[in-house]
A and B are shown apart, each in its own frame.
Chain A
Amino acid sequence: MEFLLQLVLNGIVSGSIYSLVALGFVVIYKSTSVLNFAQGEFMMLGAYVCLSLAVQYHLPFAVAFVMTMAFMAVLGILTERLILRPMIGEPVISLIMVTLGLSAFLKAVVQAVWGTDLRPFPNIFPVTPVQLGPLPVSQGYLYSTASVAVLLLIFTLFFKFTRAGIAMRATAFSQQVALSMGISVQRIFALSWSIAAVVSAIGGVLLAGVRGGLDASLAFFGLKVIPVVILGGLDSIGGAIVGGVVMGVLENLAGGYLDPLVGGGAKEVAPFIVLVLILSVKPYGLFGKVKIERV
């Protein structure tokens, strides 16, 4: 029983980070119809930049964090302006391939600048575990999940009430109508990419903080977010949140109970098996909008 609770708890912690990164995915997909395969590299780059600022330049963590966010926001805007804008109107294969090319490029930059060794990440959370019912829980888990919850709440409110958020939803609904209402679709695209880059970087920093170390394997997290967004529905922000937690719990349960049977690795493959099942049964996910095509 305690084992089960521990697995579920771990699942919620990693799932909450999935939700955050999935939010970035969904924001880009909703407004620009691009599936961003470079999301994992955004996470990794954000975490490395934050690490360098905090450790090599001896900045206080909060300052380093804010500077990282600013850097990522600029990077998101530049990506949209330089790489994605020339792709408007191109077929899906070009859109997918350009983000794959971007992911290869960013991976190489990170590897060239920071190398491939595992680097210790500063303790951004208190290390002593707290007792939660029967389970000892590391405080990093609690802080990470709490900050994700706060961020997700802020974004939900942002999309519901602010001018920019409403403009983004309008653009996602119909670009032509949004344009005729005086919304600058180009600005919305740039905003979407910078939001996605920033939330992934936050996810990357939290994940590196929870794990206590940072290396290139963090980018794989970005690919595992794909089953999450497919489960939740590619264009649903609520779906991203629910999907993230469900997938996090599910992969930890698979890891805990199936690994002894199959000899390891179940945690990595389980989300992809679920992905095939979802695609065969309910391809538009739990909350996604079903597309009907008419000629």
Chain B
Amino acid sequence: MRCGDFRQSYAEDMAIFESPLPRWLLAALLAVLLAIPFFTGTYWLDVLNRIFIAIIAAMGLNIVTGFTGLISLGTAAFMAVGGYTTAALAGKAGLPFVVVIPVSGVVTALVGLVFGIPSLRLKGLYLAVATLAAHYIVEFTASHWDHMTGGVNGISIPAAKAGSLVLGSDREVYLLILAILVGLLFFAKNLFRTKVGKAFVAIRDQDISAEVMGVDVFRYKLLSFAVSSFYIGVAGSLLAYQARLISPENFPITLAIDYLGMVIIGGLGSILGSIFGAIFVTLLPEMLRLVTDAVGNHWPGMMTIVAPLKTGVFGLVVILFLIFEPDGMAARWHHIKTYWKLYPFSY
């Protein structure tokens, strides 16, 4: 019986799948996800789309905040950059989505770099403050550059298309988002098995030591910022294709805080954590709505506090996680897994 780690080579230690079982489970999960759109209604399909987009952006934020230790409050702004780039390229220039989505990511990465540079001399708090400034500057640009962004009224985006292929329905957009999500998660998982990913983690743990060990801190911090912004930009681009209409109201500062919350609740520096956190925070308002709908009949006063309830529960959950489980849901999941691995001889 297995009661510990018995890895005998570096290849085994670095393997993504420890045993064949998780590999098959993952394949089964993918098959289920591919089948879902043919069974569910538009409402849950919409929720799933939003969850997948949130996972991509949370993954991006986790790369810079969880793995590299640079705190960013600019997620909403960078998503806006991705979204508006998509609006310009797909709407005004009429380019196919296979070009638009990566280009949106690259443009966002460049904008991310601009705001990253001044703050790289600084750490912690200061970077958070610089990205906060980035947020308000982008928000101002989005609501005032009328002929590019449509100002406060927003701008509409045509359906994603490439040649004769048009992804008009929710179901088709779902498959597009799922494909990109799987690709980006696979890339992220592998990124942290390479030199670059390990350099990020070294910078997070102790930047001065990392420099002494030969990591070019400045270069890798910028790279981390760029990769993270790319993910967030792609998420913004997909959001534009999914919502078909974006305005500055889609990207408030509270969105950036929601994403930081996802990363904290899910688990800093964990890919699985980004997924858990994104699912949890996106589902939170849906669940609260179900509860208030059920209770609403008996207690009508409930309906008026739905909006603050979401914010309040979110704030409370973040605080409770920070105090009682700072490593997030991913750590909990790990505990549960290791407990069952050795059940019933758990010690």
Contact = CB atoms under 8 A, between A and B. Distances in A.
Interface of A: 35, 83, 86-87, 90-94, 96-98, 100-109, 111-112, 115, 223, 226-227, 230, 234, 262-265, 268-269, 272-273, 275-276, 279-280, 283, 293, 295
A100 B133 contact: no
B145 to A, nearest CB: 10
Contacts of A98: 318-319, 322-323
Interface stretch (B5-13, B82-90, B117-125): B117-125
Contact of B311 (A91, A104, A226, A264): A104
A273 B136 CA distance: 9
A217 to B, nearest CB: 13
A278 to B, nearest CB: 9
B156 interface: no
Contacts of A280: 118
Contacts of B311: 104-105, 107-108, 111
A33 to B, nearest CB: 9
Contacts of B312: 104-105, 107-109, 112
Nearest to A276: B133
A102 B319 contact: yes
Contacts of A230: 126, 129
Given A90-B326, A108-B308, A268 B65 contact: no
A282 to B, nearest CB: 11
Interface residues of B, number: 52
Given A93-B71, A269-B136, A275-B129, A83 B308 contact: no
A295 B211 CA distance: 12
B136 A101 contact: no
Contact of A273 (B129, B133, B253, B254): B133
Interface of B: 65, 69, 71, 115, 118-119, 121-126, 128-130, 132-134, 136-137, 139-140, 143-144, 208-209, 212, 253-254, 257, 260-261, 264, 268, 304-305, 307-319, 322-323, 326
Contact of A100 (B208, B260, B307, B313): B260
Given A100-B257, A105-B319, 17 more contacts: A92-B124, A93-B69, A93-B71, A96-B71, A97-B260, A97-B264, A100-B315, A101-B261, A101-B316, A104-B254, A104-B257, A105-B316, A108-B312, A112-B308, A262-B144, A279-B126, A295-B212
For the complex, would chain B's binding face be called helix, strand, loop or mixed by DSSP majority? helix
B118 A276 contact: yes
A293 B308 CA distance: 43
Contacts of A112: 305, 308-309, 312
Given A87-B323, A230-B129, A263-B144, A101 B121 contact: no
A37 to B, nearest CB: 9
A277 to B, nearest CB: 9
* 5 closest Cβ pairs, A-B complex: A108-B312, A104-B315, A105-B315, A101-B318, A111-B308
A164 to B, nearest CB: 26
Given A100-B257, A272-B136, A283 B126 contact: yes
A227 B115 CA distance: 16
8 contacts: A93-B71, A100-B318, A111-B307, A268-B136, A276-B133, A279-B130, A280-B118, A283-B121
Contacts of A92: 71, 123-125
Given A100-B260, A104-B318, A227-B133, A35 B323 contact: no
B266 to A, nearest CB: 12
A62 to B, nearest CB: 31
Contact of B128 (A35, A87, A109): A35
A283 B132 contact: no
Contacts of B319: 83, 98, 101-102, 105
A97 B307 contact: no
A79 to B, nearest CB: 10
Contacts of B122: 279, 283
Contact of A275 (B133, B261, B307, B315): B133
B83 to A, nearest CB: 19
B118 A272 contact: no
B318 A272 contact: no
A227 B309 CA distance: 30
A26 B261 CA distance: 25
